[in-house]
Amino acid sequence: MGFNKIKDLQTLNIEEIDKNIFKLKKEILDLQIKKFTKQSIKNHEFKHKKHKIAQLLTLRANKYEH
């Protein structure tokens, strides 16, 4: 699983972007809970999800400007 391209996300409207951000933050919280309870997780998933959130926040900021 590589990083997603921001071009793939540019067709989303602001509501869809907000829903995706919320979903990703919930997934990160779930990963943290699994980590704290010593369940097996893939540590790189944190980085990928945070990267996608950053892309979505940048995209949302650009859409608010226009």
Provide the pLDDT for residue 29. Answer: 96
Contacts of 21 (CB under 8 A, 6+ apart): 53, 56, 57, 60
pLDDT tens digits, one per residue of 13-53: 899 999 999 999 999 999 999 999 999 999 899 999 999 99
Provide the pLDDT for residue 12. Answer: 84
Q: What single-letter DSSP state applies at residue 5?
A: P
- Is 28 part of a structural domain of the chain? yes
- Is 1 part of a structural domain of the chain? no
The yes-or-no verdict on residue 4 having pLDDT over 70 is no
Provide the pLDDT for residue 9. Answer: 76
- Is 66 part of a structural domain of the chain? no
Provide the pLDDT for residue 11. Answer: 80
What is the domain range of residue 13?
6-61
